[in-house]
Structures are given as structure tokens and as C-alpha cells.
Amino acid sequence: MSQESESESTYTEGDLRNTGMQLKHDREWDYELDRIIDAIEERDAEKVGLQFPEGLKRRGPSVADDLRELAGDDVTFMLSGQPCYGACDLDTYLMKRTDVFVHFGHSPMKNTDKVIYVPLFSNVEVLPIMEEALETLEDPEETEGVGLVTTAQHMNRYEEMSAFLEEHGYEVHSRRGDDRLTHEGQVLGCNYASADVPADQVLYVGGGKFHPLGLAMEHPDKHVVIGDPVNNVVTVADTEKFMKQRYASVHKAMDAQKWGVIFCTKIGQGRWDQAQQILENNDDAYLITMDEVTPDRLRNFDMDAFVNTGCPRITTDDGPQFHKPMLTPGEYEIAVGNKPLDQLSFDTFHGTW
């Protein structure tokens, strides 16, 4: 099986994934080439599609070279150039035109024989950062335990993480959130249901701050500790800056007359019923269908504000870059006066397939 080194991607200043920290460990991924070759042989495949998330697209040609050497000259490998931000973001055009379609970097969000999911488990050791995190977690004798969550890249170490906490006296609470999640204890950038456990504190083991910030927003009663095993840094999720940003966007949109309602056409991101409900209750709302929602694409629409029913990360990651306020559905209800300001909450995904 082939493995490649990969470093952190660079994000914009306003991006919640920008940790401001430097990479301290080389990261290697297992591309599971043997499993892909087995599928090619079983299906007598002639065309194989390969889809990588944004930060790993540059590794695509090397992986294609390795597969080409193993598969032979009769198999054509095609790299998806479409943006990819998660397991919900499949290149359906390429998928329909290939015999085998491989999606790298995420775990399955829906069971299907059409897609091979390669989660790209990380080689980074997690116990050193968990050892350091013990100093930030509440004492096991003074709490009801700890919730444990991580991302797909570190799920291969989940049992090891859980055992470590138990050895240090913690009762570990874990669950599989809902059908959008593959593993027990897994969180996505849009779904934190696995953190809905009877514990006052949650340890998130993984890189970046978006996942734990979203978790802290959805579970404001919990103390959320971030253990980043790649950068070897322990921090506590602080939602104050994020909340101020969202409150400011809602206030700016309160005087809006014309609303653009974004419906995302990506296979796992479309919330049609939610978009329809907004349209039915607002004569000055206009449906805008888009595959890729970017500030440039919306600049040509003469709207006072937008409400995004697609991926929540579009609003939270890129919200400050849009020329007009970009709100979540819940924030929209506050802006038009249907809900009070104190009901502002984090937007998450449940279902949509």
C-alpha cells in the first residue's frame, strides 16, 4: 500500500480552520491501493474515477501513477477537478461515467456499491497530545466523565484513545450520532451528534478548530478541549469571536427586503424542504440554485441578503467574504423577526440524502 506525506493547507484569514500554528509532524496517508486494484479486477473496470479533497488534489497524479502501474495499460484513470469538501460532495458526473469511482479523504456518508471510500487514516500518534490534554480536562473525580470525538482521519486510533482515558480514571462516553456519520465518536464539520453524550466535557482529537468550534456552539453547556496531534497543541474551544461575527451578520440583514435563497445542488447538501419553506413565507425571497457557492458568483445578484440552505461551512467559513450578509436558515428566522436573537445557534446537517 502506498503512503504519501502531506502538509497542512493554507486558508484565508477569516477561515475558522486557520489555526495559526505550524505543522510539527509529517503526515502520511494510506491510499489503500490494493483494495482499489481488487475492485478494478472484480468489475473488469476500464475507467476509474479518482476524487480528492482540495488539500490532497496535488497528490492525485502520484496516486494515479501507482495505480496505473498496478492495473496495467487497459485501465484509464481520471482525476476529478471539481471542488470537493466532504463525503457529501461527490463528483456525480464523473461517477456516472466510470466503472469504479474512488473518493479519498472521507468515510462513507451513505452505503453504496458505486463508490469506494478511502478515509486516508493518519499515521500521527495521538497519545502524546492526549497526555498533555489531561492538564486541561477536568479531574475525573470531579466530573461525570468525558465525551470523546475525532475525525475520520484518526478513527483508526479511537479505541486506543478511549483506553488511554479509561486508564487515567475517566468514564468515556461515546456514541454514533446519526446516519450521516459512519463511526462511533466521529464528528463532521456539519454534524456533531456524536457529542450528544451525558458528560460535561468533550475531548476533540484532531486538527483545525472548525469542528470543535461547531461542537461547542451546538453544545454550549460542555467544556470542549481540543487536542491537535499534528501541531501538538492543546486549546479550549472559544466561541466568543465566532458568535460576535454571526450576531453582526444577523443585524446587518434585519433591514433586508430582497432575499436570495441558496439551494445547493451537491448530492449530499441540498435541503429542499427548508428552502421551500422560506420561499412560501416570503414573497421577496428568490430561489438560486448553485453547485459551487462563492462570493464572486453571488455578486451579480441584486439581493440585500442571502440565506444558505446548503453546507453550513459556506456561511461560517466564507461568510465575511460575501458582499451582502450570508445567513444560515436559523439566523434568517431571527433576522425576519420570527425568532428572538437569543435563539441564535449553530447550523448543522442531519440527513439530506
| Helix, strand or coil, per DSSP, at residue 285 | strand
pLDDT at 27 (0 to 100): 54
The tens place of each residue's pLDDT in the chain, 353 residues long, gives: 344 433 334 433 333 333 333 334 445 678 899 999 999 999 999 999 999 988 889 999 999 999 999 998 899 999 999 888 777 788 889 999 999 999 998 887 766 778 999 988 888 899 999 999 999 999 988 888 999 999 888 888 999 999 999 999 999 998 776 655 666 788 877 777 788 889 999 999 998 777 888 888 888 889 999 999 988 899 999 888 888 888 999 999 999 999 999 998 877 677 888 899 999 999 999 999 988 888 889 998 999 999 999 888 788 777 788 999 999 999 999 999 999 988 887 777 665 44
| pTM (predicted TM-score) | 0.76
pLDDT at 327 (0 to 100): 94
- Whole-number Cα distances in Å, 160 to 87, 250, 290, 295: 25, 43, 42, 42
Domain with CATH 3.40.50.11860 in the chain: 241-343
Beta strands in the chain (DSSP E): 3-6, 27-30, 47-51, 76-79, 100-104, 115-118, 146-150, 172-173, 201-205, 223-228, 233-236, 259-264, 285-290, 305-308, 326-327
Domain with CATH 3.40.50.11840 in the chain: 33-118
The topology (CATH level 3) of 33-118 is Rossmann fold (3.40.50)
- CATH classification code of 126-237: 3.40.50.11850
Place of cell 419553506: 277
pLDDT at 56 (0 to 100): 87
Place of cell 449553530: 346
pLDDT at 175 (0 to 100): 79
Query: How many residues are there in the chain?
Result: 353
How many Cα atoms within 13 Å fall on the side-chain side of residue 79?
A: 16
Instruction: Name the maximum alpha-carbon separation found in the chain.
Output: 63
Phi/psi region, residue 80 (left: phi>0; alpha: psi -120 to 50; beta: rest), is beta
One of 3.40.50.11860, 3.40.190.10, 1.10.645.10, 3.30.70.20 is the CATH number of 241-343, namely: 3.40.50.11860
CA gap 278, 272 in Å, rounded: 10
Cite the DSSP H helix spans in 150-282.
Answer: 158-167, 210-218, 240-253, 272-280
**DSSP code for 15:** -
Q: Among residues 155, 172, 219, which one has the least CA distance to residue 192?
A: 219
